[in-house]
Structure 1
């Protein structure tokens, strides 16, 4: 009788524990914090398609003196195309050309890194401001300097609204571009750290 009771208690405890684990996994996948659970969200880390461009990105970034930004540039590629477009950095417009008119991924990476370097220079090496300027255009850095000099998501949204009105467009760029790029950057960093800890 006691054994049977213990069996029932252990079975119930095990069932409850499994339920909690499943509940945690499901809630992690669908919660606002899901971006910070890298191993449960493989689509929110750097894809194999983008990783294939690491040697080229590393080499070109070093040429332009921004080798330390290689991982961040890979996160830009992830946000721009996930490595699936020929113009992997969506850099055609930075050259004054129509979208997707760059003919090879290598040319896209060179043009994108060159433009990101210009954005960094214009932003006094503030990565957040440089990222948003990569998306909006270099004029955004001047806008921020004229409005307190410090990047904020609020300024990005104000600028996007202002430009959309000026151009009579329904929207302008991605005012949450910094958060979108950093999601990939931070999750990849966490994934690597977790992998290192389990070695």
Structure 2
């Protein structure tokens, strides 16, 4: 009888843990994950970034990339989540020390212009332009010299090579594209759900 209860308890434990894991996984990929605050808090564009939408729109349109306004806002989420005046962490793209820009509008203007340059250099490849925003526009040349096609593996190799070259522990974020696109895609899902309701 004792073996029966031990077996029953073990079976129920496995089933319970399996349901919990499935709940977490399905919540992560559900567009209606608002009911899971643990997983959904920081996966969409925050009110801090959303407040600057008119400024993002203004400079995106001025650079001829108005269609990328939401993407630029997702990029800003990855860069600062709106917690820094240099909202797009654009100081270094201007040849300045990190966080030298102390105005969100100046940061958005500079960051949008830099993203536009990255888009031009990448021939319109959004993923390559995003990774180049993080690594520097020279990453586009590295991709051309190594087969011409952006891949996550190539981003990792570039990151490791630059870190070694500079004697740093790490260089940039080789997963930057996925991190930005997480915000972008979740924001698009949220907007679509809002329109339905």
TM-score, with structure 2 as normaliser:
0.84
Structure 1 residue 32 displacement after superposition:
9.1
Distance 1:49 1:66 in 2: 22
1:129-148 equivalence runs, <5 A = 129-148=128-147
For the 8 Å contact 1:35–1:183, the answer to whether it is kept is no
Residue 42 of structure 2: SS of its match in structure 1?
Answer: helix
Report whether the alignment pairs 1:103 with 2:97: no
Structure 1 residue 101 displacement after superposition:
0.5
**What residue in structure 2 maps to residue 151 of structure 1?**
150
Distance 1:110 1:192 in 2: 25
- With over 3 angstroms needed to count, the CA separation of the structure-2 counterparts of 1:32 and 1:160, relative to structure 1, is farther
Structure 1 residue 141 displacement after superposition:
0.4
TM-score, with structure 1 as normaliser:
0.83
Structure 1 residue 36 displacement after superposition:
5.2
Report whether the alignment pairs 1:177 with 2:176: yes
Distance 2:137 2:123 in 1: 12
Task: Report the aligned-residue RMSD.
Answer: 2.0
Q: What are structure 2's unaligned runs of at least 5 residues?
A: 1-15
Runs of 4+ in 1 over 6 A off after TM superposition: none
1:56-75 equivalence runs, <5 A = 56-75=55-74
Distance 2:108 2:176 in 1: 18
Report whether the alignment pairs 1:34 with 2:28: yes
Residue 44 of structure 1: SS of its match in structure 2?
Answer: coil
Distance 2:41 2:163 in 1: 34
Residue 92 of structure 2: SS of its match in structure 1?
Answer: helix
- With over 3 angstroms needed to count, the CA separation of the structure-2 counterparts of 1:116 and 1:32, relative to structure 1, is farther
For the 8 Å contact 1:72–1:185, the answer to whether it is kept is yes
Report whether the alignment pairs 1:186 with 2:180: no
Structure 1 residue 160 displacement after superposition:
0.2
Distance 2:46 2:145 in 1: 38
Distance 1:91 1:32 in 2: 36
Structure label with greater radius of gyration: 1
Q: When the two structures are aligned, how many residues end up with a matched partner?
A: 176
**What residue in structure 1 maps to residue 164 of structure 2?**
165
- With over 3 angstroms needed to count, the CA separation of the structure-2 counterparts of 1:36 and 1:146, relative to structure 1, is farther
Structure 1 residue 147 displacement after superposition:
1.1
Distance 1:176 1:66 in 2: 24
Structure 1 residue 34 displacement after superposition:
1.8
